[in-house]
Amino acid sequence: MTGPASTPIHTPATEARYDAEILIIGSGAGGATTAALLAEAGFDVLVVEEGDWVEQGSVVSFSLEQMDRQYRSGGVTVALGLPSIAYTEGRCAGGGTEVNSGLYRRPPAELLERWRSQYHIRDLDPDEMYVIADEIESAINVTTVPGAVSAPSAVLRRGADALAWQNSESPRWMTYPPGGSASSGQRQSMTRTYLPRAQRAGARLLTQCRVRKLSISGTSASDADVVLADGSPGRIHFRHVFVCGGAIHTPALLQRSGLRERIGDTLAVHPTVKLAARFAEPINIPDDVPVHQVKEFAPEISFGGSASHPGLVALALADNWGEFSHALHEWERVCVYYAAITSEGKGRVKAIPGLRDPLVTYNLTARDKQLLRSGLSRLTLLMLAAGADEVYPSYHNAPVVRSSADIASLQRSFAATKATVMTVHLCSTVPIGEHPRCAAGSFGQVRGMRNVWVNDASMLPDAPGVNPQGSVMAFAIRNAQRFIETERPHG
């Protein structure tokens, strides 16, 4: 299903009281898919979303304006630790899918097998998951770019090829106009795909509606306390609730509602470190990201390209501003790249009474820090192999790297505690499975609760080592299908 949908019905929340058979909290990758499947199966579905509806294309992708309008807290929040890890989340109709890079990866078969056996997830069949993945790929139009890839993407390919490192173009959920170029795509986010589908099947969507907590008695939840668009309180009564607020806000909401056991204790992320690289020729494309990824060292380490508008180039150079700032004058020849790792560290999300946002902590292990060093050094080598004149690694007092001998001083002086460690992949705060350490059952039913479900990135048992949205959607659809089989809608 591609192309513009009929104008969807979405209204800011204004009524003091709503009723729904199924309440879905959050309209991102998990919430939107759940809404479409349940509405199409005949359930009465109400989706509530804290953020606004922002039409794709009305804001420049990866711009500062987008950070203001579609991200939580203007773009950056911090998980405390040594080092602290900055993370970003979408907050708008469609959630992270509206602002992200759109790089699609299926959950690898080995990953599904590991999750099944390690977390005792019932009926997790890779073949069934791949049937679902096929459906998703056609629904959001997963495709490679038309014609040649962009210059910053070609840098990754050229460098990796020179070093004989495995690399490939990651397909994206995009549509391109006839004869369009690599950067002319339109993101097939949830506001263009699953949300209109849900609405066509009768689902209602309330924007600017933040759920504060659920009222729970015994094993059932009955109502949600919400804050309406004008800031006044409201209440939504439901039969079932799907919490899909993302890996930070889903556990926080459950904790505020009195559900604390194992919830929020197992935050997993893909920590990343960055560098900026300067080339002889102009390569910067401010409103798009590279599509190539280097998977030679996956799943431990992966490389790719980051958004690189001048503001973000400045951010990447900020760690050694005195030495690096001259590169900003030539930002057209500079691009930002990342090295991501699969971390063995663990984080926590803790709702604090009286505070709107939860406290998030994350601790890297000694191995994680070594992998970050190795990742950043290897990425630097790749940039030199691709022909970079100068590389500026993002950590405090980093050297300018011009030759392979300079990388030795990078390795000597790097410390994860000096680096700007970031992540955009957050998950696993309410992991599913029958294993005692899992906070929800194999299909997302919160332990001990009859009618409370999680169906977003929180449910992934641990960090997938690949871009997660494809996995979030596939699991959300699998769980929704199971729900439909067992809870047939009335009449």
Partner 1 sequence: MDDLALPAATVITGSAGWLGRALVHHLATDAGDHARDGEVRALVLNQTEADAVHAVSARARAIIGSVTDPDSLERLLVGLPPDTDVIHTAGVIHPAKVSDFFAVNAGGAANVAAAVQRAGLRRMVHVSSNSPFGTNASDEDTFRAHEPYNPYLGYGESKMQGELAVLDQVQAGLDAVIVRPPWFYGPLQPPRQTTFFRLVRGGRFPKFGAGMQRRSMVYVDNLVQGIVRAELTPGPSGRAYWIADERAYTVNEIIETVGRALTDEGYEVKPGAMALPVIAGRVAERADRIIQSTGRYQQQLHVMGEMAHSIACDIGAAQTELGYRPAVALYEGMRRSIQWCRREGLEL
Q: Is 395 helix (H, G, I), strand (E, B) or coil?
A: strand
Q: Does 317 bind ligand FAD (CB under 6 A)?
A: no
Interaction partner, residue 90 (ligand FAD, partner 1, none; CB < 5-8 Å by kind): ligand FAD
Write down the least CB distance from residue 299 to partner 1, Å. Answer: 9
Residue number of the CB atom closest to ligand FAD: 28
Task: Report the partner that residue 473 touches, choosing among ligand FAD, partner 1, none (CB closer than 5 to 8 A by kind).
Answer: none
Q: Is 275 in the site for ligand FAD (CB under 6 A)?
A: no
Of 49, 288, 319, 368, the residue at the interface with ligand FAD (CB under 6 A) is: 49
> Does 268 help bind ligand FAD (rule: CB under 6 A)?
no
> Which CB sits closer to partner 1, 374 or 417?
374
Catalytic residue (one of 10, 292, 425, 490): 425
By CB under 6 A, name the one of 38, 47, 59, 102 that touches ligand FAD: 102
Size of the site for ligand FAD (CB under 6 A): 41
Sheet holding 172-175, edge to edge: 142-143, 172-175, 186-187
CA–CA dist 181, 242 (Å, integer): 39
**CB neighbourhood size of 282 (10 A):** 12
Is residue 469 close enough to count as binding ligand FAD by CB under 6 A?
Answer: yes
Show the binding pattern over residues 213-252: x = contacts ligand FAD (CB under 6 A), - = does not.
-------------------------------xxxx-x---
Buried b (16+ CB within 10 A) or exposed e, 340-373: bbbbebbbbbbbeeeeeebebbbbbeeebbebbb
- Give dist(CA 233, CA 212) in Å, integer: 10
Give, to the nearest 10 degrees, the angle between helix 366-385 and helix 404-413.
160
Using the structure block, give the residue that is written with the tokens 């150079």.
Answer: 317
48 binds, among partner 1, ligand FAD, none (CB under 5 to 8 A by kind): ligand FAD
444 φ/ψ sector (left φ>0, alpha ψ -120 to 50, else beta)? left
The window from 45-53, 146-154, 215-223, 432-440 that contacts ligand FAD (CB under 6 A) reads: 45-53
Ramachandran angles phi, psi of 22, nearest 5° = -120, 125
Does 27 bind ligand FAD (CB under 6 A)? Our answer is: yes
User: Measured from the CB of residue 413, what is the shortest distance to partner 1 in angstroms?
Assistant: 12
Q: Is the dihedral of CA 130, 134, 139, 143 positive or negative?
A: positive
Binding site for partner 1 (CB under 8 A): 163-165, 296-297, 300, 367, 370-371, 373-375, 377-378, 380-381, 385, 404-405, 407-408, 410-411
**Quick one: 91 or 292, whose CB is closer to ligand FAD?**
91
Return all residues near 156 (Cβ < 8 A) that are at least 6 apart. 167, 290, 292, 293, 294, 303, 304, 305, 337, 382, 386
In sequence order, the β-bridge partners of residue 423 are: 87
Question: CA 336, CA 314: separation in Å to the nearest integer?
Answer: 10
Q: Which does 370 bind (CB under 5 to 8 A by kind): partner 1, ligand FAD, none?
A: partner 1
Using the minimum distance from each CB to partner 1, give the nearer residue, 100 or 380.
Answer: 380
Interface stretch with ligand FAD, choices 96-104, 195-203, 264-272, 280-288 (CB under 6 A): 96-104
Instruction: Return the SS3 of 217.
Output: strand
Considering just the CA atoms, what is the radius of gyration of the chain in Å?
Answer: 22
439 contacts ligand FAD (rule: CB under 6 A):
no
Among 416, 468, 477, 483, interactor with ligand FAD by CB under 6 A: 468
Q: Rule CB under 6 A: choose which of 61, 66, 97, 255 binds ligand FAD.
A: 97
Is 425 in the active site?
A: yes
Is residue 211 close enough to count as binding ligand FAD by CB under 6 A? yes
* Exposure b/e, 120-150, CB count within 10 A at least 16 = b: bbeebebeebbebbeebbebbbbbebbeebb
Q: Please report, as ranges, the residues that interact with ligand FAD according to CB under 6 A.
A: 25-31, 48-51, 88-92, 95-97, 99-103, 210-211, 244-247, 249, 253, 424-425, 456-457, 467-470, 472
Residues acting as catalytic residues: 425
